[in-house]
Amino acid sequence: MTQNPHTDLPAMDAYWMPFTANRQFKKNPRLLARAEGMHYWTADGRQILDGVAGLWCVNAGHARARIVRAIAEQAAEMDYAPPFQMGHPKAFELAERVAALAPAGLNRVFFTNSGSESVDTALKIALAYHRSRGEASRTRLIGRERGYHGVNFGGISVGGMVANRKMFGSLLAGVDHIRHTHDPARNAFSRGQPAHGADLADDIERLVALHDASTIAAVIVEPVAGSTGVLVPPVGYLQRLRELCDKHGILLIFDEVITGFGRTGAPFAAQTFGVTPDLMTLAKGITNGCVPMGAVLASQKIHDTFMGGPEHVIELFHGYTYSAHPLACAAGIATLDTYADDGLLTRAATMQSTFVDALHTLREAPHVIDIRNIGLVGGIELAPRPGEPGKRAFEVFLNCFEQGVLIRTTGDTIALSPPLIIEAQQIGQIVETIGAALRRVA
């Protein structure tokens, strides 16, 4: 390993880090060297409590023995198998296991390697579905302002976060957006679902009037918008989206890359909120973050639409070299076993009251202007510093890290999504550390 000649750190010039202030980081690196359970350890031996499950993905906690063993055994048995015109048993086993957890009717699983790939896959399936059933005019895709759907061109096109879009040109044609649901004037400091805002779903009618329903293929939303700052859906909002999509023959896609696998208190947020989409994107928690993997769940109706024509002809010309990778499938099966053994897919419902009570103790803390939560995901929104948007929250992030707690910030919002194994004492430590940091920053 090449070393930095002035320190014990590795040389850092070559690695262009993702979603990172590279110059700031390389002046004062934050290097993680080991992880177990609820904690990381830094390269210099400091223990760091993980308040964000890695990056919304390590739901069962770090270095779970069953998952580690399954990956090692699979690598020794078969490291790779081609997914085109071939298969291996664990791919089919994992698909059956995932489908069994899903809302009724979402029983076909297409494997990808990330949330971004899952989103692009779902969008392509939606377009191809309408074409296959004779409505090829349905080519328009509808996202939502402040939505995050990964970083591939399809995902940033339907996504609605300005910084993720502005550098990359005109993106995909034929994309529009409904309004977001962030309404602090009426819903600030809600516990769980906000009371106001179901009517915001009616923005679909505006786009139907503008474009005509016959041109619209799908609407994609996160049930809980995560990366934009934890926006919880108002009571009745998702139900209204479902009604309007049905009314106009539009597919509804839920992006559950963040909310899937227990984050909201049920296996999937669709079950928490009682709304079943036509397509659902997954990733992150499907393997506990151990091996990259994603998936798209599709309804039987969508799947069967592709199954006409000669049997020897490929039905969907789409896929990835690493779809259903053997190591990822082994990790996924072991992850689902771990979730089941520890009751983790519903544990957020048990811990939710402790989590929300602790979060809302920060209501009177300096700079806090809103707190949002559902299950074991929370957002603490800070007043932006005049002329320096995002800087106050970033300073809180740095301060918490120095005090032994890892949080995440997006703009001026602190986002929390701890591993589902978290205990009350650890929730208290996270919140107390954030409160102390808020009192320290200007």
69-93 residue pLDDT tens: 999 999 999 999 999 999 999 999 9
In this predicted model, what pLDDT tens digit does every residue of 191-247 receive, in sequence order? 999 999 999 999 999 999 999 999 999 999 999 999 999 999 999 999 999 999 999
Strands (DSSP E) contained in 248-394 are 251-255, 279-282, 294-299, 368-374, 377-382
* 358-390 CB burial, b ≥16 within 10 A, e <16: bbbebeebebbebbbbbbbbbbbbbebbeeeeb
Residue 410: pLDDT band (50, 70, 90) is very high
β-pairing verdict for 279-282 and 251-255: parallel
Rounded to whole angstroms, the Cα distance separating 258 from 222 reads 8
The residue-averaged pLDDT of 172-192 equals 97
Tens digit of each residue's pLDDT (9 = 90 or more) over 120-167? 999 999 999 999 999 999 999 999 999 999 999 999 999 999 999 999
pLDDT at site 8: 74
The 10 Å CB-count burial string (b at 16+, else e) for 121-145 is bbbebbbbbbebeeeeebebbbbbb
Burial 28-58 (b: 16+ CB within 10 A, else e): eeeeeeebebbbbebeeeeebbbbbbbebbb
The Cα–Cα gap between 100 and 375 comes to: 22
Residue 101, pLDDT above cutoff 90: yes
pLDDT given for residue 5 in this prediction: 46
Domains and CATH numbers, the chain: 31-59+344-440 (3.90.1150.10), 68-342 (3.40.640.10)
pLDDT for 7 equals 60
**C-alpha neighbours within 13 Å on the C-beta side of residue 212:** 5
DSSP single-letter state for residue 291:
S
What pLDDT score was predicted for residue 2?
A: 56
* Alpha-helix residue ranges (DSSP H) falling in 49-114: 53-56, 65-77, 89-101
pLDDT confidence of 435, banded at 50, 70, 90? very high
pTM here is 0.96
The answer to whether 2 and 11 have CB atoms below 8 angstroms apart is yes
Tell me the mean pLDDT in the region 310-336.
98
Q: How confident is the model at residue 6 (pLDDT cuts 50, 70, 90)?
A: very low
- The answer to whether residues 60 and 307 touch, using CB atoms and an 8 Å cutoff, is no
7-66: pLDDT as tens digits:
678 899 999 999 999 999 999 999 999 999 999 999 999 999 999 999 999 999 999 999
pLDDT digits (tens, 9 = 90+) for 336-389: 999 999 999 999 999 999 999 999 999 999 999 999 999 999 999 999 999 999
pLDDT at position 125 is 98
Q: Which of 356, 350, 384 has its CA nearest to residue 371?
A: 356
